[in-house]
């Protein structure tokens, strides 16, 4: 299928509606006592992850049953089965489970549409704040706060050459990021460091709340695809820290390389 035909068939408002429905269920569980399990890789899992995944899978299948879905919670699809996928959904039903457990509100629902290994549509929903970021190739990136009209996100040229705001993970800060910040202090008179959870970091760089997001630690493909769409279609760059190349998807190993958003 041609990319234009695919985007014509998949309405971004439908995807936004699915993300909101998943977020509503997440918030129902967020307000209660909930059990936390741990997966084989020691990462936490809650009922909210499962319920959100069910809602998203059901909704995306209603849009088009032929588009495959790869999600953090249904990731056991062999590379042999997916290596020839031209397009597919890439989903993290609850990005920032640690933030969810801490109840700090910094968790998101991430839904991306991948075409020929690149995200062409992305939705990042923050259920605790009812804020949605969404982007589509050819349309740009937008932010919508509650029922207010969406506003276009366009990256602005940085005017403060002496000041750099670096954003990094709240729960996964590494020594490498700290060293990255120290190096930046040699280039800039003032380097400000802020932290946030989940895909919020992509969105904050996209809208200019931060200048750069170095992720010098492991992430999986579903952690980054939707956020990459938001940042890219706002005019930002998301690139491999070692090679400078754009991040791409549906690799044999779903683990991302280190990357930078700026």
Section 159-173 average pLDDT:
82
Percent of the chain with pLDDT over 90: 78
**Choice among 10-24, 31-45, 105-119, 134-148 with the minimum mean pLDDT:** 31-45
Cα separation, 155 vs 158, whole angstroms: 9
Q: Indicate whether 108 belongs to any domain.
A: yes
In this prediction, residue 159 carries a pLDDT of 65
Q: Indicate whether 158 belongs to any domain.
A: no
Residues 6 or more apart from 189 whose CB is under 8 A from it?
A: 162, 163
Q: Indicate whether 48 belongs to any domain.
A: yes
In this prediction, residue 258 carries a pLDDT of 97
**Which among 106, 122, 153 is the end of a domain?**
153
Q: Indicate whether 103 belongs to any domain.
A: yes
Cα separation, 126 vs 200, whole angstroms: 8
CATH code of the domain covering residue 235: 3.40.190.80
Residue 249 has pLDDT above 80, yes or no: yes
Residue 180 has pLDDT above 90, yes or no: yes
In this prediction, residue 37 carries a pLDDT of 82
Residue 158 has pLDDT above 80, yes or no: no
Query: What residue has token string 């259920």?
Result: 127
SS3 of residue 211 by DSSP: coil
Residue 9 has pLDDT above 90, yes or no: no
Same-domain check for residues 127 and 248: no
Same-domain check for residues 105 and 234: no
Residue 137 has pLDDT above 70, yes or no: yes
Same-domain check for residues 149 and 193: no
- Report how far apart, in Å, the C-alpha atoms of 130 and of each of 17, 67, 122, 183, 257 are: 12, 28, 17, 36, 31
The whole-model pTM stands at 0.94
Q: Between β-strands 69-71 and 87-95, what pairing exists: parallel, antiparallel or unpaired?
A: parallel
Percent of the chain with pLDDT over 70: 97
Residue 23's Cβ-side half-sphere holds a number of Cα atoms within 13 Å equal to 24
- Report how far apart, in Å, the C-alpha atoms of 99 and of each of 5, 154, 206 are: 38, 28, 21
Into how many domains does the chain fold?
2
Q: Between β-strands 131-136 and 213-215, what pairing exists: parallel, antiparallel or unpaired?
A: unpaired
In this prediction, residue 136 carries a pLDDT of 97
Same-domain check for residues 74 and 175: no
In this prediction, residue 42 carries a pLDDT of 64
Section 69-74 average pLDDT:
91
> Which domain range does residue 137 map to?
3-153
pLDDT-derived band at 73 (thresholds 50, 70, 90) equals confident
In this prediction, residue 153 carries a pLDDT of 97
In this prediction, residue 260 carries a pLDDT of 98
CB neighbour burial string for 177-214, b if at least 16 within 10 angstroms, e if fewer: beebbeebeeebeebebebbbbbbbbbbbbbeebbbbb
**Which among 105, 128, 153 is the end of a domain?**
153
Considering the chain, what is the average pLDDT of its residues?
A: 93
In this prediction, residue 7 carries a pLDDT of 85
Same-domain check for residues 189 and 73: no
Same-domain check for residues 188 and 134: no
Same-domain check for residues 85 and 209: no
Query: What residue has token string 């932290």?
Result: 195
Higher-confidence position of 87 and 74: 87
């Amino acid at each position: 299928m041609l990319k234009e035909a695919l985007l014509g068939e998949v309405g971004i408002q439908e995807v936004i509606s699915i993300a909101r429905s998943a977020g509503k269920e997440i918030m129902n569980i967020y307000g209660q006592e909930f059990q936390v399990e741990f997966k084989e890789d020691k990462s936490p899992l809650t009922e909210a992850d499962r319920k959100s995944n069910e809602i998203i899978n059901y909704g995306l299948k209603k849009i088009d049953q032929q588009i495959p879905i790869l999600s953090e919670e249904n990731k056991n699809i062999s590379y042999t089965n997916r290596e020839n996928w031209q397009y597919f959904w890439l989903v993290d039903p609850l990005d920032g489970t640690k933030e969810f457990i801490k109840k700090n509100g910094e968790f998101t629902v991430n839904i991306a549409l991948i075409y020929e290994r690149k995200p062409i549509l992305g939705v990042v929903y923050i259920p605790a704040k009812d804020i949605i970021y969404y982007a589509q190739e050819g349309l740009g990136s937008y932010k919508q706060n509650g029922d207010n009209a969406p506003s276009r996100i366009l990256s602005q040229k940085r005017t403060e050459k002496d000041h750099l705001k670096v954003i990094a993970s709240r729960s996964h800060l590494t020594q490498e990021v700290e060293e990255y910040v120290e190096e930046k202090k040699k280039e800039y008179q003032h380097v400000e460091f802020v932290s946030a959870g989940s895909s919020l970091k992509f969105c904050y760089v996209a809208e200019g709340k931060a200048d750069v997001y170095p992720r010098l630690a492991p992430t999986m493909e579903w952690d980054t695809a939707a956020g990459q769409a938001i940042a890219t279609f706002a005019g930002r760059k998301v690139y491999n820290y070692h090679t400078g190349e754009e991040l791409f998807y549906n690799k044999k190993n779903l683990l991302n390389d280190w990357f930078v958003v700026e």
